A and B are shown apart, each in its own frame.
Chain A
Amino acid sequence: MNFGELVRKSRLKAQSEDRKYSLRKTAVRVGIQPSYLSKIEREELPPPGEEVICKLSEDLGLDTDVMLAMAGKVSTELLEVIRSRPELFAKLLRELKSAPDHAVLKLVREVRDGEW
């Protein structure tokens, strides 16, 4: 599934339960023209910028990182993380690119449980 298709399917599913997810109302909430949203959904225009993608994902209850990735973008936040220690994170990402999900998850910092 590509970006526009995901937006359209998610919006139509939400609209089937709540009319506020019409093309026009959704576009107004996100701060863009309905015609622009329509063209994004139909892939007549490339995905919008990061700010609009973030608003769209929040409005439709979708994962922002996934939406940005589908649009071929990386969030400013993640870019700053990488730029702060480029060598380290480049090496880390290359090491992990083929690792299974459970192995990657083991690297994520866990909330420590103690004695209580």
Chain B
Amino acid sequence: MITLERQQLVIRFPEIHPHAEARISFQRTLRIPDDGRDYPLPPGMGEFPLHHIEDYPKKLPAKWAQHGGVFMPMYQSEALWLSFGTGNHDYPIALQIAAGKINAVNAEPWQEDMQFEPQGYVVTNQQPWLDGFCIEKGKIRQFVAAPLGEGVTVEEQITGEAEFGGIQIKAWPLKADVYEEMLLNRPSFHGEYGLDMVMACMCEESAPMDMGLGMGGSMKQEVYDDEFRPKDWDTNVSSRCYVHLLNSISYAQVTGHLPPRQPYEAADYAAAGLPWFDYYSDQASIDGSEVLKNLKTWKDFQGEKKEQSVNIEPKTVIHLEGKSGTGRPVSQGDHF
């Protein structure tokens, strides 16, 4: 079951184990420059607000109601990262993350079954966050919002169609007996390694409110190998959720709430000398996708509107270590 609690998707499998829980939040962040350099991790600037689709049935596209799930507002070319938590315990949950039904880890089309080879998921107690599409070992390209229909999204570049947009998530729990055995073999495991981490009539399917994810600048980030065996996963049970991306311009008209403030610019952040982050874990990581690596990035589509070159030099990089209990700081974004 998936619930929406304090702007987080909370995934639980109480029928499998009372500890089987994962938490996903969607963090606003800086869009890093796409200038050929590999940037460290930008900070979290607060969570995107999430809403149930069925709370606004007459103000959202009909196909969104068909998909179910939740929606959140994003500005065009705004970046985000997904933060993964494990609740009060450290029960491993496998998460397939897709954008426009294209797997962000291995570029395969959306599948209802777990994809073990090449690995098409992350594991919550091993992977504290995901900032983008995995293009090669130790490197991702940042998730950047783009309107559907302009050919910018990864979905459109791979399939040639602008059909889905949004973010799709599917979760599978580890088998309960494997988890219990893990607790026995690692007595300090239990609780010790948390990685704490616009109008009512705009309801036609072609409404420009629908966004997808394209690729932004390059960032240093590992997507870790699954340390369990395929048979350790309980593939008989799963939960899934469709996260629609609503153009922030439409947010107030749909919800009656003020949209989030405009995202901060990376140049302003760096100029203020505020910290960036680096994360180290000794776990092995996956190779990434050649398909994703060869796609065009958001900058490639800007043409005459190409962003001006700005000198961004992350001066302060804070190094975080895996399983230290020290997560990547998340602020409300109003501190500079």
Residue positions of A touching B, CB distance < 8 A: 13-14, 17-18, 61, 63, 101-102, 105, 108-116
11 pairs, CB–CB < 8 Å, chain A vs chain B: A61-B194, A61-B196, A105-B1, A108-B3, A110-B3, A111-B241, A113-B242, A114-B69, A116-B66, A116-B67, A116-B101
Secondary structure type dominating chain A contacts: loop
Task: Please name all residues of chain B whose beta carbon is closer than 8 Å to the beta carbon of A108 when the two chains form the complex.
Answer: 1, 3
Task: Please name all residues of chain B whose beta carbon is closer than 8 Å to the beta carbon of A110 when the two chains form the complex.
Answer: 1-3
A-B contact count (CB 8 A): 64
Give the interface centre of A13, A108, A114 by most chain B CB atoms within 10 Å.
Answer: A114
Chain B count of residues within 8 A CB distance of the other chain: 32
A17 and B325 form a contact (CB under 8 A): yes
A14 and B12 form a contact (CB under 8 A): no
Q: Which of A101, A112, A116 contacts B18 (CB 8 A)?
A: A101
Q: Which of B4, B67, B101, B239 contacts A114 (CB 8 A)?
A: B67
B324 and A111 form a contact (CB under 8 A): no
B239 to chain A minimum Cβ distance, whole angstroms, is: 8
Give the interface centre of A63, A102, A113, A116 by most chain B CB atoms within 10 Å.
Answer: A116
Secondary structure type dominating chain B contacts: mixed
Q: Which of A18, A63, A113 contacts B241 (CB 8 A)?
A: A113
B326 and A112 form a contact (CB under 8 A): no
Residue positions of B touching A, CB distance < 8 A: 1-4, 9, 12, 14-15, 18, 52-54, 65-70, 88, 101, 164, 168, 194, 196, 239-242, 324-327
**Bound form: Cα–Cα A105–B1 in Å:** 9
Task: Please name all residues of chain A whose beta carbon is closer than 8 Å to the beta carbon of B1 when the two chains form the complex.
Answer: 105, 108, 110
B68 and A112 form a contact (CB under 8 A): yes
**Bound form: Cα–Cα A68–B69 in Å:** 31
Given contacts A61-B194, A108-B3, A115-B66, 12 further A-B contacts (CB under 8 A): A17-B325, A18-B324, A101-B14, A105-B14, A108-B1, A109-B52, A111-B52, A112-B52, A113-B68, A113-B242, A114-B66, A114-B67
Q: Given known contacts A18-B324, A18-B326, A116-B164, is B66 in contact with A109 (CB within 8 Å)?
A: no
Q: Given known contacts A109-B3, A110-B2, A114-B68, is B15 in contact with A102 (CB within 8 Å)?
A: yes
